[in-house]
Structure 1
Amino acid sequence: MITDVSKDGDILTFAITSQKFYSSGGVCVFRTYEDFEWLQQNFFSQENVPGLQGVIFPPLPPKALPSPLNTPSKSLKQLGFLALGHDWQSYCKALEFYLQQVATHPILSKCKALDSFLTKSESPGKQRGRKGILNRLSQAVEGMRKESHRDVDDFFQKERHKNTNRAALSKAATEKILDVVLTEQKLSLACGHFSTCLHLCVNQDDEAAVAFSKICLKLSDIVEAVMRNFEKVANNNISTLGMGLDLEARYEEAEKEMLFRRTCKLIELETVKKNTEKAKANKRDVMEEVQKASEKEFSLISSVAKQEIERFHSSRVTVLRSFLVGWCEKQLDTAKECAKLYSQYLDACKNLFSE
């Protein structure tokens, strides 16, 4: 759990509290974004983990730059919903969810780097991480050609097609709800200005303007209530539906990366098979051994990938449902509060005009 965040220039430092299953006491460490990057890099570079390239790695949120030069428009473009919220709360929740996902992952949770990240007082980010094979694959020059390569397994071919559609829809939905939140925030700000202007119309010195002043004050209170309602609705959208859609979009990209890595391995295997067929008699035995090793590795990656996809679909439905339920509950509570308040103001206006 991320309990606090402090800012020193362009550096955000997060206080992370964790507890081991067999321990009654908690451990608190302080980590920067570079430490999170170090952890993610260690997950990528576990060369002793069979089938690692079939893992859907929980997506690490992009780096936040709380610099005065980083304008709100740049922050929104870089972070989306994670740039909104008070005191980096949304960003902290995203990092917290990332840690929860890796801590419950059947493969990544066994990585020694995770234990070091959560328990060691020294910042692990100062240690230089090793670049694993996954990074080299993600930087393939012929990426577009490999992405469109026909798969030998219909399951993965269909999954790649579905993932492409879901990724596009998730991104579009996230952008739309972000536009809604920004509009709600603008309306809230406008209501605040209008409420202030109504106060400026109050004149208690002129008896003829007293009645008008009372109306302005009452109307100002009503507009201020509308302002607070817009604020609450926008905050509800940020902390529930917005965060859920943002996470969904980033996870779809993580699955896309995993499917791409597997496609790269498929192309490597097909190349090995072609080279084996063309090999001369004195080199055929060696090439056949290489082919067997490649087939075994690809089979293991595919097996892990299928388990990851099944696990991903199960968890994404559960997580997105929880965000949607939370969104409905919060918006319903806000609507009830607003309706009750508006009813009180309506009665007050009726009494005002009946005097």
Structure 2
Amino acid sequence: MMEEAKEETSALSVHGHNIQVTEVLKDGDTLTFLIVSPKLSGTGEYHVHRTYEDFEWMQQHLFSQEDVPGIQGVIFPPLPAKAQANPSAKVMKQLGVLGLGEWQPYCKALEAYLQQVASHRVLCKNKAVEIFLTSSDPPGKQRVKKNIFNRLSQAVEEMRKESHKDVDGFFQTERDQNLIVTGCAKNAAERFLDVMQTEQKIAVACGHFSAALHLCVEPGEDPDKQAFSKVCVKLSEVFDSMKKNMMTVAKNNVNTLGLGLDLESRYQEAEKEMLFRRTCKLVELESARRNADKAKPVKKAAMEEVKKAAETEFNQICGVAKEEIAQFKGIRMAALQQALVQWCEQQLLTAKESADQFNQHLQAFRGMAY
């Protein structure tokens, strides 16, 4: 087992943007993912096998960097929900588009997560990231320790903080916009998931009807029966083409806009969590200021120190958060735009191929009329 990683500065030895999750191996209920990371030296690649628990191990280390100034202002890349070899209905609902059929979409989501972590100016310096991507040994068991998300869980009990008025107009506007966009992104991802599931159902129905048409084929020398059987066979071919076309459309939708909307929804939630952490710190700061103002002379100095420490931490969080939001908007807009472009390109390509194929079927039917 590899050593427990220490949260210390470490330069990655891999190309963060080129990390790939190339394969998933199933051993009973355990899923293992093959991760390939090109070396910066250009001399080869790191090939490591990781389970979902290993991803959680790294995520836990990222959350635990309390010694990093302003860490609570970071928008942490969202780790997809855990996939299972035989998922229940509840797990499928949590996974959404990532749970549709093949494992490729889920591997792509994990791949995007690793690329975002490895490319983040703060998170990539954590030793756990280098170990996760390059060590041939599996990570140690996840340590249970205090981290910013433990504090977030405690803060959730005080729901009043969510509506606490901000002292900074920039962050108040961002909170208001994020609340709206988060809901819209989630709704868009869910509605598009409905579309993709419907496409899959149509493909299955076309396949069943194609097979059923073969049951209408009758042997014999009767010209009418032969003509009818010939029509049934041709119709069967048409519906089989419709099945393949719909399956291609559904697969393209999953791998382009489906993944794009899923990531957008999860990232908006990640920004929402960051903004809430900052709001909780704002409430703590205001409380520290009130306590300092009301403190008796014997405790005045101590309370002032607490207030100054809270102000310093809050200012660091705000500074990091503003940088994160600026980069977040640019990156997310570009990623969603790319997903839309890829979706349109695949739609056009599939439509052209299908039109050519259906035209061939049409010509075949016309030939049967003579």
TM-score, length of structure 1 as denominator length: 0.96
Sequence identity of aligned pairs in percent?
Answer: 58
1:65 to 66, 73, 84: 84
Higher mean C-alpha deviation, range 318-327 or range 142-151: 142-151
1:250–1:315 Cα change, 3 Å: same
Change (3 A) 1:199 1:348: same
- Map 1:280-319 to 2 at 5 A: 280-319=296-335
Could you report, residue by residue, the CA deviation over 1:206-244 in whole angstroms, capped at 9, with x for unpaired residues? 423000111111111011111111111111111111110
CA contact (8 A) 2:56 2:142 kept: no
Matched, 1:148 2:163: yes
Judge conservation of contact 1:138–1:261 (CA < 8 Å) in 2.
Answer: no
Deviation per CA, 1:128-171: give whole Å up to 9, x if none.
25331332223325342111111100100010010010010011
In structure 2, relative to structure 1, the CA distance for the partners of 1:120 and 1:204 (3 Å cut) is same
Report what 2:118 is aligned to: 103
Q: Aligned residue for 1:36?
A: 55
Q: In the alignment, which of 191, 201, 212 is matched to residue 228 of structure 2? A: 212
Structure 2 alignment gaps of length 5 or more: 1-19
Is structure 2 residue 241 aligned with structure 1 residue 225? yes
The answer (yes or no) to whether the contact 1:51–1:304 under 8 Å persists in 2 is yes
Contact 1:269–1:295 (8 Å) recurs in 2: yes
Q: How does 1:253-268 map to 2 (within 5 A)?
A: 253-268=269-284
Matched residue, 2:7:
none
Q: 1:38-84: CA deviations, max 9, x gaps?
A: 111100101221100000000000011223xx34x334312000001
SS in 1 for 2:33: strand
Q: Which residue of 2 aligns with 1:348?
A: 364
Asked if the contact 2:74/2:321 (under 8 Å) is kept, the reply is yes
Give the AA of the match of 2:247.
E
Q: Point out where structure 1 has 5 or more consecutive residues left out of the alignment.
A: none
Partner amino acid, structure 1, of 2:92? L
Deviation at 1:127, TM superposition (A): 4.6
- Alignment counterpart, residue 244 of structure 1, candidates 247, 260, 263: 260
Structure 1 residues 353 and 75: CA distance shift in structure 2, 3 A: farther
Q: 2:67 aligns with which of 9, 28, 48?
A: 48
Shift in alpha-carbon separation, 1:117–1:250, aligned structure 2, 3 A: same
| Within-5 A mapping of 1:121-136 | 121-128=136-143, 130-136=145-151
Q: CA deviation at 1:292?
A: 1.2
1:147-197 CA distances to partner (integer Å, 9 max, x unpaired)?
A: 111110010001001001001001111111111111111111111111111
Alignment pair present for 1:19 and 2:35: no
Contact 2:214 2:236 survives alignment (8 Å): yes
Q: Return the match for 1:337 from 350, 353, 361.
A: 353
- 1:65-214 to 2 correspondence within 5 Å? 65-67=84-86, 70-71=87-88, 73-86=89-102, 88-128=103-143, 130-207=145-222, 208-214=224-230
Query: What is the aligned partner in structure 1 of residue 26 from structure 2?
Result: 7
Query: Once the 2 structures are TM-superposed, how far is the Cα of residue 313 of structure 1 from its aligned partner?
Result: 0.3
Local SS of the residue matching 1:139: helix
**Hey, what's the Cα distance between the residues in 2 that align with 1:314 and 1:64?**
30
Q: Give the Cα separation in 1 of the matches to 2:140 and 2:93.
A: 26
* Counterpart-to-counterpart distance in 2, 1:177 and 1:127: 35
8 Å contact 1:42–1:130 — kept in the other structure? no
1:42 counterpart SS class: helix
The aligned amino acid for 2:108 is K
Q: Distance in 2 between matches of 1:189 and 1:127?
A: 42
Q: CA–CA distance in 2 between the matches of 1:75 and 1:183?
A: 19
